[in-house]
Structure 1
């Protein structure tokens, strides 16, 4: 497979997506085999569902509610797919960059500046676009939501589509109780220490100034941030896995997940969406073979210390090796007892 480990992380929206941290800590990557050992030793802190498409299936704590981090954004993506197919939105609809950046807080580990660079938008201050009146398309936002895990794009899409459309898509994808978070809403609660309606924040300049004033007080240290993540959205590995298995019903969403990948011989497409916040690593992926077989996997890991957090590429590699028949039983070997 023509992907470096850094490319693996970037391709599934994990690299640089850590809330509040500038980058994932550097650490020697122990490789996928050591991740198997780590999961065996921490069975109570991970959930997984793996189906290789050949009749082999592994499930561990599939119905336990785990933190999802940015792996949840495939829910927003299928909502976007459904809205376009219904004619409720146009994929080419122009979006003013300033309207997109209303939903941005500089607590995403550099995901938004990465998205701006990918769309050839100048970003002299390192955070926001130089020209707020520049235009992108709705499809551009769907792309950077997945490729770079841009939180502002996720919230813009959610409010443009409306939660009922996203919920309908989740039901059609087999995950009726999927969380549909407003990422900004959760971050505002973390910054302010109280619940705030996103629309109120967007409409109230004084509230926005209060948020700006409190940003320097938000913890940056890994161990101080970890407890804050426990209050973010949760879902089950089984639910997220069902969504990935039904993505053939959402061709535009599948195209975004597979975009930028270089699949090996015999493979038609690889789709990835991961997530990372301090203490949490998550991944949903699917491998689409040229013979029509589809392998899918979801792995949700909690209570990840800073060292293993920096080794996220090994976890991605383990899951892909399992689906690409490189690791044999791979995750299936992680026994329950």
Structure 2
């Protein structure tokens, strides 16, 4: 739109005999996007050319191989743009994709993601039809937030408690913000990595040397943006497990979340001597469960193995409903903490809402075998606050996330637009 306006102004000034307006210079992100489009039509791109456009981390990946199934790319609508970040749709032989591109101060590409972009439903009837195809168990709510609280606009089992996966990290973030507000902690408080608090992926902090120092704001950014489990556990230990439990209550979540598990304890219960340890834990009262946690904390990470199929997703997890997610987002919004907003806006979960229509978008999701939850908050251009939360689960079989997730994201994009409209 900006470029179209500039073009019109240029045409008028020529007609009037006035000096033409200077052309807008492309931003570093736009320049690299243009290169990507051009490069996609002439694969393979030589190594020396790649080195002129990609940082060292991306050079280690095989961009030619990644682009081959989707090339060539044709640019389409821009979702959002800044000098260092660009999110734009492209058409390709594989369908419409969302390109998320980030550059560093030197102009090299440091982040590049191509994700499926499916059309969003435009009616609640279409939303309901899509919901029925996603999983055996579904909870969904599209809601508006006002000073009076969360109001349901459309839903399916909106109050039904489901496993949250990593969406529980919203409550850790809220507890941290409360500790900062009280003066007990600061976003600039430094915390070294403790080997006893390291967890398993997702995330990257588990790979850093013990003792590496980060601020609490940096831990929060990692916890929310890339769902870093080691960052999460450090924050739980720093603010206190009981403070996180109280945050569930403060934000209106009454599901059974006591004691609050760290991610390391969660992995131990499901990936170490399963099902004996998990069954014993699930049978205990909350007070006795708390006494078992130090034993789980001593389980070496090397003794924990991944599990491909659902394991006790209704007994060993963190829990809440779509309505609870709206209340959590409403609580975080009321905290008016810039660091909270900064953490939640780094990653929009691929929903790709037009920035002009939705200047603020927050996201936190979660998953494990048999569980997928996606939760969005958005502030519309007119100031309206809306949320859309979708919780899918199957206690018997893993969900096909590669197929289900793009459909779920498109559904929630449509739900947010319908709710705001």
Do the structures match in fold with TM over 0.5? yes
Matches within 5 A, 1:219-230: 219-220=306-307, 222=308, 225-230=309-314
Match of 1:323 in 2: 416
Question: In structure 2, do the counterparts of structure 1 residues 248 and 84 end up closer, same or farther at CA, with 3 Å as the change threshold?
Answer: same
Question: In structure 2, do the counterparts of structure 1 residues 279 and 35 end up closer, same or farther at CA, with 3 Å as the change threshold?
Answer: farther
Greater strand content:
2
> How much is the aligned-residue C-alpha RMSD, in angstroms?
3.4
1:102 paired to 2:196? yes
Match of 1:119 in 2: none
Match of 1:270 in 2: 361
1:292 paired to 2:383? yes
Aligned positions, number: 282
What are the superposed Cα offsets for residues 254-298 of structure 1, whole Å, 9 maximum, x if unpaired? Answer: 332123568611423100001121221101111112322111111
Q: Which structure has more RCO (C-alpha within 8 Å, separation ≥ 6)? A: 1
Residue 356 of structure 2 aligns to a residue whose secondary structure is coil
Question: In structure 2, do the counterparts of structure 1 residues 200 and 280 end up closer, same or farther at CA, with 3 Å as the change threshold?
Answer: closer
Match of 1:248 in 2: 333
1:314 paired to 2:407? yes
1:189 paired to 2:269? yes
CA distance in 2, matches of 1:312, 1:35: 15
CA distance in 2, matches of 1:248, 1:326: 18
CA distance in 1, matches of 2:135, 2:157: 9
Is 1:178–1:239's contact at 8 Å kept on the other side of the alignment? no
Is 2:135–2:393's contact at 8 Å kept on the other side of the alignment? no
1:135 paired to 2:213? yes
Q: 1:241 Cα shift?
A: 2.0
- Tell me which of 186, 189, 197 is aligned to 1:93: 189
Residue 270 of structure 1 aligns to a residue whose secondary structure is strand
CA distance in 2, matches of 1:260, 1:189: 29
- Tell me which of 167, 178, 190 is aligned to 1:71: 167
CA distance in 2, matches of 1:308, 1:200: 33
Q: 1:171 Cα shift?
A: 3.0
Matches within 5 A, 1:151-190: 151-177=229-255, 179=257, 180-190=260-270
Match of 1:335 in 2: none
Question: In structure 2, do the counterparts of structure 1 residues 43 and 58 end up closer, same or farther at CA, with 3 Å as the change threshold?
Answer: farther
CA distance in 2, matches of 1:28, 1:91: 35
Match of 2:139 in 1: 47
More displaced, 304-313 or 80-89?
304-313
Q: 1:181 Cα shift?
A: 3.0
Q: 1:324 Cα shift?
A: 2.9
CA distance in 2, matches of 1:168, 1:301: 26
Q: Name which one, 1 or 2, has greater alpha-carbon Rg.
A: 2
Question: In structure 2, do the counterparts of structure 1 residues 306 and 47 end up closer, same or farther at CA, with 3 Å as the change threshold?
Answer: closer
TM-score for both structures, normalised by structure 2: 0.58
What are the superposed Cα offsets for residues 173-202 of structure 1, whole Å, 9 maximum, x if unpaired? Answer: 232447333222121122333258444455
Residue 57 of structure 1 aligns to a residue whose secondary structure is strand
Is 2:117–2:410's contact at 8 Å kept on the other side of the alignment? no
Greater helix content:
1
1:259 paired to 2:349? no
